[in-house]
């Protein structure tokens, strides 16, 4: 049986809550590449800039590329400023995510930011997804448009993972809150994970279900990463015992329920109302009954039903229209 990290891990979770609510998220330590990461794959398609404070990942006909944190973490705040490739990006997938699939092949956990490219003139789309204990058959995807062009400049994308909830942020605005429920059992991510960043060819599914594929005449596709933050409880990869935790965690007793302030809650609701285009909880073509963790918001249900009555209204799908789940193990298939 896997050993759980020490009590300081839980205290770290509480300190992270305090840090974020107090507005110190922007002041957390920024690491250089060598301080916290290692190359995952891609040979010279990974290039360091600014003395290792910026990382360029590229995709060409030969390979994609990626990097991974040197440590495993149980809970924490993980962030990067990312600038995506411009122009024609159909089929291109940029991912910023946590996973332990290399350790737990059949019951892995995963927390995903995925950026899905598009044809010229169409915007990048952002997808979040969560797996726990190998529950890949439930794909918990949500998709959104953004209020800016993510290829024009850097924007911050962050994951806050605690024992009770997961929150995704874009430029410090919460866009999704996923709470742990008793009914989920082990489907909530609960095992230590590494942080990954990759760019890869998702032609088979990423753009209009594979209709538009990567066009390598526009290669190389380059995704830029900077302001890298790994603020969590690192654990030993063999014993899963705590290696190091934030010292400030030991004196804090703040409840995780206070993570999202009223102001942030308003921004969360506004983002979802204006920009969310898909949510698995409301997909009546995939689920006759919503998965056990879903808390149905009638306003969200009505808006999505008007947006896509076939998917969210329970109507019949036309031939050729279907929803594609995201791919797990996105790095392994590109390692040669």
The C-alpha torsion from 107 through 113 and 114 to 118, rounded to 10°, is 160
Among 4-13, 33-42, 113-122, which is the least confidently predicted range?
4-13
Residues 214-234 have a mean pLDDT of 96
List residues with catalytic annotation: 110, 114
Residues 128-156 have a mean pLDDT of 92
CA 280 – CA 46 distance, rounded (Å) = 34
CA 9 – CA 75 distance, rounded (Å) = 7
pLDDT score for 316: 57
Among 66-70, 169-173, 180-184, 303-307, which is the least confidently predicted range?
180-184
**Helices (DSSP H) in 2-144: which residue ranges?**
8-21, 33-36
pLDDT score for 9: 46
pLDDT score for 138: 77
Distances (CA, A) of 18 to 24, 77, 184, 254: 9, 12, 27, 7
Is the pLDDT confidence value at 327 over 90? no
CB 146 within 8 A of CB 273: no
Is the pLDDT confidence value at 39 over 90? yes
- Is pTM, for the whole model, over 0.75? yes
Which H or E run includes 144? strand 142-144
pLDDT score for 217: 97
- DSSP 8-state class, residue 49: E
Mean of pLDDT over the chain: 84
CA 260 – CA 280 distance, rounded (Å) = 23
Residues 241-248 have a mean pLDDT of 57
CA 313 – CA 301 distance, rounded (Å) = 9
Determine if the peptide bond prior to 8 is cis (ω within 30°): no
Residues 121-146 have a mean pLDDT of 91
Domains and CATH numbers, the chain: 33-307 (2.60.120.200)
């Amino acid at each position: 049986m896997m050993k759980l990290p020490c009590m300081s891990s839980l205290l770290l979770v509480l300190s992270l809550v305090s840090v974020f609510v107090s507005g110190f998220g922007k002041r957390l330590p920024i690491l250089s590449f060598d301080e916290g990461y290692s190359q995952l794959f891609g040979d010279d398609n990974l290039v360091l800039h600014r003395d290792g404070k910026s990382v360029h990942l590229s995709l060409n006909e030969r390979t994609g590329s990626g990097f991974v944190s040197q440590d495993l973490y149980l809970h924490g705040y993980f962030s990067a400023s990312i600038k995506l490739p411009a122009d024609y990006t159909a089929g291109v997938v940029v991912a910023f995510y946590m996973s332990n699939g290399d350790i737990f092949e059949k019951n892995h956990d995963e927390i995903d930011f995925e950026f899905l490219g598009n044809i010229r003139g169409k915007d990048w789309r952002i997808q979040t997804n969560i797996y726990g204990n190998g529950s890949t058959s439930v794909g918990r995807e949500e998709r959104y448009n953004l209020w800016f062009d993510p290829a024009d400049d850097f924007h911050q994308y962050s994951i806050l993972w605690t024992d009770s909830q997961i929150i995704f942020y874009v430029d410090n605005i919460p866009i999704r809150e996923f709470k742990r429920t008793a009914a989920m059992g082990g489907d909530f991510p609960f095992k230590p994970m590494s942080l990954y960043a990759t760019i890869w060819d998702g032609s088979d599914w990423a753009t209009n279900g594979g209709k538009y594929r990567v066009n390598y005449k526009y290669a190389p596709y380059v995704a830029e990463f900077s302001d890298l933050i790994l603020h969590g409880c690192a654990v030993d990869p063999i014993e899963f015992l705590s290696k190091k935790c934030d010292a400030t965690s030991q004196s804090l007793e703040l409840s995780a329920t206070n993570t999202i302030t009223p102001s942030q809650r308003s921004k969360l609701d506004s983002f979802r109302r204006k920009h969310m285009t898909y949510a698995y909880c409301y997909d009546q073509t995939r689920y006759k009954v919503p998965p056990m963790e879903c808390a149905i918001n009638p306003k969200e249900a009505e808006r999505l039903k008007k947006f896509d009555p076939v998917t969210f209204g329970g109507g019949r799908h036309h031939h050729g229209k279907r929803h594609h789940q995201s791919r797990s193990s996105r790095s392994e298939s590109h390692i040669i």
